[in-house]
Amino acid sequence: MKEKYFIKDYGLFTSLVVTMIGIGLFYGPSFVARLIGEESYLASILMTIVLLLILYMIHSILKMNNYEDIVTVLKNTYGKVIGNIISIVYSVSMIVILSMSLRAFADVIKIYLLPKTKIEIIIVVLVFMGVYLVKGGLKNLVYFNEITFPIMFIPVSVILLLNIPNAKIGRLLPVFTHSPIQYAQAVMELFFLLSGFCIAFILFPYVKKKENINRIIRRSSLFVGVFYTVTIMFVIATLSASQAANKIFPTITMLRSINIRSGVLERWDGIVMALWVLFYYTTFTGSYYFSTHIITKVFNIEDIRISSIIYVPIIYILALYPQSMAELYTVKIGPAKIAFGISLVVVIFVSYFINLFKSKGGQKNEVKKGSY
């Protein structure tokens, strides 16, 4: 008999972290620097608080529904028909976001690693690599995340330390010079990059020790927040806020500067890019599993290996739709952000308060019955 609750604390922590940290760290500092310049790292700190709140709310929603899967929760919250519609819309919106990030990642690979390879081939290879892991099921996905976590973060931490001589702390000043609205916009720009947090809906029901979930939420949120904050600080301190705002991939530029200025290792940036392939792959597979899981449950598909194929042509078409990187980052990503924001409000905030109201109403009814 297969073990239903197979995710241990380490598996939950690593899966949350590697799914949330991905390709966004390549271009995210550029978006935020355009809004609040030298204070970009403050947005990252605030984003950590938002992330912590969202994960707590996801856990509370699932806990109030006895850790049912997300589709069942949405059916219980909004009714079968509306619940299924919301599930499908959420799944599709995640696929749109995934397609945009896939195009961005394929552009990075083409520019820095495979300049002679057609972008269509890069996208196809990445998609089918992701589908291959997703078809193996959630257990294989969690095990893969456990293995890749130290491979990803230990080398990158060392690389960031090597960049200390290039950083100028004075470039991080002054602080608190922008309006609250600008800070809020910057926080949302960063939080959009963490759309992989949706995997929590899938992971939490299969955790062995559910009493430890809140503790793991705090640790994973803190890790993601610190990693983003430190990376953004290094980008701004190395390049300056104005340069970071004008670069499409400022993080890569910053990491490549280690080669140019300190000469630590020849072609060190190639090693960095190879590591970032892992960063994106883990984010892609986690988010893709989430979307295919929803489709499997909504349409009662027998096996996720079947449903994992459904989105392949859609992702391919959407990833190739932007004509250029400039078009992707200035125009095409806008609708994806809107879809993400609406999904966030409906699926998490509204669902949380509806379930909280139902839960309190149920408790009051039990008290009344007990008094008779």
| Bond from prior residue into 174 cis (ω within 30 degrees of 0) | yes
Check pLDDT > 80 for residue 372: no
pLDDT score recorded for residue 158: 83
pLDDT band at 148 (very low <50, low <70, confident <90, very high): very high
Least confident of 45-49, 68-72, 253-257: 253-257
* Helix %, strand %, coil % of the chain (to 5): 85, 0, 15
Q: pLDDT tens digits for 190-208?
A: 888 888 899 999 999 999 9
> Mean pLDDT over residues 84-94, rounded?
90
> For residues 314 and 331, what is the distance between their CA atoms, to the nearest angstrom?
19
Check pLDDT > 70 for residue 371: no
User: For the CA atoms of the chain, what is the radius of gyration?
Assistant: 21
Least confident of 143-152, 166-175, 261-270, 307-316: 261-270
Amino acid identity, position 37: G
Check pLDDT > 70 for residue 121: yes
pTM of the complete model: 0.90
> Mean pLDDT over residues 184-191, rounded?
88
pLDDT score recorded for residue 264: 47
Contact 39, 176 (CB under 8 A): yes
Torsions phi, psi for 207 (to 5 deg): -75, 135
> Mean pLDDT over residues 157-163, rounded?
84
pLDDT score recorded for residue 107: 83
> For residues 143 and 12, what is the distance between their CA atoms, to the nearest angstrom?
10
> Mean pLDDT over residues 321-329, rounded?
65
Contact 241, 171 (CB under 8 A): yes
Measured N-to-C along each axis, helices 80-112 and 70-78 cross at an angle, to the nearest 10 degrees, of 140
> For residues 238 and 243, what is the distance between their CA atoms, to the nearest angstrom?
9
Burial 271-304 (b: 16+ CB within 10 A, else e): ebbebbbbbbbbbbbbbbbbbbbbbbbbeeeeeb
Q: Over the chain, what is the mean pLDDT?
A: 85
Contact 166, 262 (CB under 8 A): yes
Contact 99, 318 (CB under 8 A): yes
pLDDT score recorded for residue 36: 94
Least confident of 98-107, 212-221, 318-327: 318-327
Check pLDDT > 50 for residue 260: no
Instruction: Give the contacts of 228 (CB within 8 A, at least 6 positions apart).
Output: 21, 25, 28, 44, 47, 48, 190
pLDDT score recorded for residue 1: 38
pLDDT band at 367 (very low <50, low <70, confident <90, very high): very low
> For residues 6 and 138, what is the distance between their CA atoms, to the nearest angstrom?
10
> Mean pLDDT over residues 332-345, rounded?
66
Three-class SS state of 247: coil
